[in-house]
Amino acid sequence: MHTAVQRVSFRLERERSLGLVGESGCGKTTIGMALMGLLPPSAQVLSGSVLFEGEDLISASDARMREIRWSEISMIFQAAMNALNPVHRVQDQIAEAIITHEPSLSSHAVAHRTRALFELVKIPQSRLKDYPHQFSGGMRQRVIIAMALACNPSLIIADEPTTALDVIVQDQILKSIATFQKETKIGMIFISHDIAVVADVCTDIGVMYGGSLVELGRTEDVFHCPAHPYTRLLVGSLLTLSDEPADLSRVSCEIDPTATGESFVGCPFNELCADAFPACKKGEAGWIELSKSHWVRCLLARKGGGE
């Protein structure tokens, strides 16, 4: 038995977006899947609850989850642009998503909504009847986003939506995401390993390591005043376009992601932390409030290390 995620708690308000950041294997995708009720049969939620608009999703029945999926919570999966069916036209695939959840809509209404969606993600209307292979990678990703928005969900979970894309295309997609989020006022959970991308797009950031959430707060707080040593490492690893070149000779610690929190007693980052002390191994650091919008789970913070 392997514990993938533990002690994760956060709250997302309408119109806000949360970026879940962490290395591969830290559990962020598992959380996304758990929220959608799409965990594999071998996975089990041992404790905790997920309250979506007051309703607990963990104890919801399969039928209820199917109702909620896509119409209230939708997801953009990793490498989703390869998930489009190559033998169906793009507009048909979007229409199918709409019809499955709102069978009572007339075909006229469906077509109208499809056109509106394309406009929202900025794909020319002339491309509606094309097949997926006629689109470039970036355009296909926009189609996927349109599909995710098809049923007007209140929450959208995007799992690494821009990983395989070029810089310019990535920038355009991120801008579209920011735009539609403002227009449609939906909540978003943006999962990525790249904290720079997340900082550009999301209002809040949650940092995960070894299956636990270690820091949570508004982007300005977490990104500019990182309190947890791991967050500091992530922010410090960023190469920026500032006037001064980065100091490549400074020491940074070696992260071995294969050693994900085997011991869930104490802090998962303990073995690699330069500032760790004995209590870190044994004690479970609870959430420490650094400010109304910034929490960290680290014993150092309590010792006055928080900013």
> Which stretches of the chain bind another protein, using CB under 8 A?
23-24, 78, 122, 136, 160, 163, 166-168, 170-172, 193-197, 199-200, 219, 223-224, 233-243, 245-246, 248-249, 252, 254-258
Shortest Å distance, C-beta 102 to another protein: 31
User: 149: helix, coil or strand?
Assistant: helix
Ramachandran angles phi, psi of 253, nearest 5°: -85, 155
Shortest Å distance, C-beta 152 to another protein: 26
Shortest Å distance, C-beta 155 to another protein: 23
Cβ count near 6 (within 10 Å): 16
Which CB sits closer to another protein, 90 or 197? 197
Residues of 41-59 as b/e, b for ≥16 C-beta within 10 angstroms?
eeeeeeeeebebeeeebee
Which CB sits closer to another protein, 96 or 220? 220
Which CB sits closer to another protein, 68 or 123? 123
Shortest Å distance, C-beta 222 to another protein: 11
Shortest Å distance, C-beta 241 to another protein: 5
Q: Which two tokens stand for residue 49?
A: 């609850």
165 neighbors 173 (Cβ within 8 angstroms): yes
| Nearest Cα residue to 31 out of 19, 41, 39, 42 | 39
Which CB sits closer to another protein, 51 or 79? 79
**Residues facing residue 17 across a β-bridge:** 188
Shortest Å distance, C-beta 165 to another protein: 9
For residue 117, what are the contacts with CB-CB under 8 A and spacing of at least 6?
94, 146, 149, 150
Task: Tell me the C-alpha distance between 214 and 104, whole Å.
Answer: 45
Which CB sits closer to another protein, 199 or 301? 199
**Residues facing residue 209 across a β-bridge:** 212
Q: Which two tokens stand for residue 200?
A: 């550009």
Which CB sits closer to another protein, 257 or 286? 257
